[in-house]
Amino acid sequence: HVARTQAMQDARSGLPILGMEQEIMEAVAENDVILLCGETGSGKTTQVPQFLYEAGYGSSEFLDRVGRIGVTQPRRVAAIAAAQRVAQELSTPIGATVGYQVRYDKKISPKTAVKFMTDGILLRELQADFLLRDYSVLILDEAHERSLNTDLLLGLLSRVVPLRKQLAAEQPGILPLKLIIMSATLRVEDFAANSNLFPTPPPIVRVPARQYPVTVHFARRTELHDYVGTAFGKVCQIHERLPPGGILVFLTGQREVEYLCRRLRSKFDVRHSAAEPAGRDAEAESEARQAADAFGADEAEQQGDADFEGRDAVHDDFETEEALEDEDDVVVMGGEGFTPEQITAAEARLDSQLGTKLGAMKGAEKAGGPVKVHVLPLYAMLPRAAQAAVFGAVPEGARLIVVATNVAETSLTIPGVRYVVDAGRAKEKVLDTHGAASKYEVAWISKASAEQRAGRAGRTGPGHSYRLYSSAHFNDNFPQHGDPEVLRTPLEGVALVMKAMGIDKVTNFPFPTPPDRAALAAAQACLQALGALDSTGALTDLGRAMAVLPLSPRPSRMILQVAKEAAASRKRSGDALSYAVALAAVISVESPFVHIDGIMAREGESEESVRRRRQSASSAHKRLRVARSDVLSALAAFCAYNNATDREGFCRETYLHSRNLREASALHRQLVHALMHMGEKVAAFSGGKAMEDLLKSADTLDKPSPTVLMQLQRAITAGWADQISRRVHSIEYVQEHSTSSKGRARAVRYTPNALDEQVYMHPQSALAKAAPEFVAYTQIVRTAKRPYMTGVTEVEA
Ligand code: ADP
Ligand code: MG
């Protein structure tokens, strides 16, 4: 009952996993749990679900295999891409036999036999049905990534599987559940030899590695600051000097990715696509600045901070010629599974397949025109259609250049990549002091990640990986493996989910890697401060309502605070709830205000003109701001943006980031949609009123009224109750403050209630001048010099 096109069959036949169908299916038949590991690109994600489907899982014809095949992915991008690919291989429309579900988006029908989803979705389903009766097989994919949700699922499923087995023996309507844990060839022992999870170790099925050799080139020096610029230089060299083949660049985040794409397109003269309106210069500039900032310092601070290691590297150009030819630090890796003849043949095939393209490229060069490039971004928040473009056809005579975050590291395989440019960094969640907060920080990747990245160049033939760091730096500063997310993230969300699932002793949970006790204690303290748990650690009604909302505990708490007040008083406008939901969306994206210091001279622009632009940005922001709060200022900007007839124009005039606002709008729509569908579940808390009644005005948010702002201010205090700081009034401080140089307000010092260190009010905050006695903050951002509070709101004492 499976119809694949000839082309699809050919594409499949080259995959190493295809020869293992029988072995895998036998292992599945004989065991409840198996581990399947194999190199990225070997066909695990796309083929194993098809093996299961063809063996009758997910079909109603086999009575012992009724129930869907569920496949989890840590990333949305991967869940959707994999579903689309498998649907395509089976020649069925997406949402029929093969579907997907990610937060806020679902293409599933009753007929769906193979369901791809994010691990978060399955976690929510587990809360509704601990037996997961919907499924006959579950595949936890990318388990090596050790995402928090995957780890939780592993812990939970290690209990669900034996439970299903036991019940299947006792009750007729229940069938056993099969679990397949899939991972790249990394740290399989973490799951296999973990008696916490599985008393008898599950069998490991290994897909033979087939990887063409990849020549790894280390840079002479490690660029510590402008690695985006270095990456740009490297891509240009490869494109201009090396034979055809796709280039895959690894950077850390969306902004850097978009920025490098723009730079490459403008260098190689690619016209802006419709989705990318030209003339967002202020925004682009500021983004580039923020990209540089992401590494931990803003300009003013860098000046006084000359003792960075290798500071001199900043101004040295990457040695172009040598770096491309430098044989000092070259390592060849991979090449297993192929004979030397096969490798040579693959190389020849690549050259000849791409030969027509090379011809076209040379032709274009001769004609004096630029050699074409096909530059595509790839990151998690990219709209669906743009994500799919990386798998699409490359225009004749053009070189594919994909600029990606680490989504392209193991979860997605981009065809035709021959060169990898690896900046060696990733944006990672790291835990702040005491495990109370986490933030995203750009950090060195692990050696294992660097290897995965390099491996992306060896899928279709021998390739090259250019690392923008030295081998000494790699050896000394890159950890062997990254820490699992459970060790790098605050656990209040997890603790709340567990409590809601009836797991009282969170410390007894079978985590694949148990988190620090201190982190669990911090989570408990946070939930108590928010009122989700009572003093004995038991879940309160409020906590139960919070666990239902599709948001993390703090914004959930904020929304419920407003809901409660709205329910208590008919007179107060129910409007505030709509604004609270919008605020939750706005808080989840980066600030909509363009950073004033990021506005820098354009080519040939006079200093006077830059100053004027900064001035007008500053006064535009002032008009939009709400004196008492950064996050409410962002909300006000969001409302003004939504009401503008020409939104892009409005952003240009008022120096706002249109992308952040578009993102917030999308998130807001999704949130309203999600809340509408769970109205009655939270009604108990909002005084019997369904969310629907209170959300009616969600799409017509005018400027928030002073009453609404006050309600929201109180709600923020409730949601961030354990992130409140008090201003420091010391003699030294007052003196320092009064003698501030440059006429600029100095950063005011505060003492947070939950940290034993002092933090500062950010000079760009709406409250920088007022510096009220008590403030709540959403985040601590650490620059090279000091910790700053961001997203600050005045708290009325
Ligand atoms: P694994 O999960 O082992 O990393 P996948 O099943 O994701 O491997 O991919 C196997 C192969 O299928 C890849 O090497 C690639 O050639 C092809 N492939 C996967 N997804 C797509 C897609 N969306 N478009 C085109 N080819 C794809
Ligand atoms: Mg995969």
Nearest CA among 550, 491, 567, 586 for reference residue 793: 586
Residue nearest to atom 22 of ligand 1 (CA): 85
Q: Distance between CA 559 and CA 381 in Å, rounded?
A: 24
pLDDT in tens, 98-126: 999 987 688 999 999 999 999 999 998 99
Flag residues of the chain having pLDDT under 50. Answer: 272-323, 325-327, 356-359, 364-370, 433-436, 743
Judged by DSSP in three states, 528 sits in helix
User: Is 415 close to ligand 1, i.e. is its CB under 6 Å away?
Assistant: yes
User: Is 107 close to ligand 1, i.e. is its CB under 6 Å away?
Assistant: no
User: Is 416 close to ligand 1, i.e. is its CB under 6 Å away?
Assistant: no
Distance 41 CA to ligand 1 centre (A): 6
User: Is 625 close to ligand 1, i.e. is its CB under 6 Å away?
Assistant: no
Mutation to probe ligand 1, out of 40, 46, 90, 390 (largest number of atoms < 8 A from CB): 46
User: Is 411 close to ligand 1, i.e. is its CB under 6 Å away?
Assistant: no
User: Is 40 close to ligand 1, i.e. is its CB under 6 Å away?
Assistant: yes
Distance 42 CA to ligand 1 centre (A): 8
Which is it for the CA torsion 612, 587, 774, 761, positive or negative?
Answer: negative
Which positions ≥6 away from 258 have C-beta within 8 Å?
287, 377, 659
Distance 573 CA to ligand 1 centre (A): 52
User: Is 413 close to ligand 1, i.e. is its CB under 6 Å away?
Assistant: yes
Q: Distance between CA 609 and CA 596 in Å, rounded?
A: 14
User: Is 43 close to ligand 1, i.e. is its CB under 6 Å away?
Assistant: yes
Phi, psi of 110 (to 5 degrees): -60, -25
Tell me which residue has tokens 């210091």.
Answer: 597
Judged by DSSP in three states, 150 sits in helix
Q: Distance between CA 296 and CA 748 in Å, rounded?
A: 20
Is the CB of residue 278 less than 8 Å from the CB of residue 271? no
* Separation in Å, CA 765 to CA 173, 630, 708, 794: 60, 6, 21, 11
| Ligand at shortest distance from the CA of 86 | 1
Q: Distance between CA 336 and CA 354 in Å, rounded?
A: 24
Residue nearest to atom 16 of ligand 1 (CA): 415
* Neighbour tally for 96: CB within 10 Å: 15
> What residue spans of 251-389 are helical by DSSP H?
254-267, 281-293, 299-303, 320-325, 340-353, 355-366, 384-388
Which ligand 1 atom minimizes the distance to the CA of 17?
Answer: 3
Is the CB of residue 757 less than 8 Å from the CB of residue 787? yes
pLDDT of residue 481: 87
Looking at this predicted complex, what is its ipTM? Answer: 0.98
pLDDT of residue 519: 85
Residue nearest to atom 24 of ligand 1 (CA): 391
pTM check: above 0.80: no
Which ligand 1 atom minimizes the distance to the CA of 415?
Answer: 16
Distance 343 CA to ligand 1 centre (A): 21
Residue nearest to atom 6 of ligand 1 (CA): 43
Strand partners, 399: 373
Residue nearest to atom 14 of ligand 1 (CA): 41
Residue nearest to atom 7 of ligand 1 (CA): 45
User: Is 302 close to ligand 1, i.e. is its CB under 6 Å away?
Assistant: no
User: Is 38 close to ligand 1, i.e. is its CB under 6 Å away?
Assistant: yes
- Ion ligand 2: residues, CB < 5 A: 44-45
Nearest CA among 546, 537, 469 for reference residue 221: 469
Amino acid present at 71: V
Which tokens in the block code for residue 293? 């900032």
User: Is 209 close to ligand 1, i.e. is its CB under 6 Å away?
Assistant: no
pLDDT of residue 52: 97
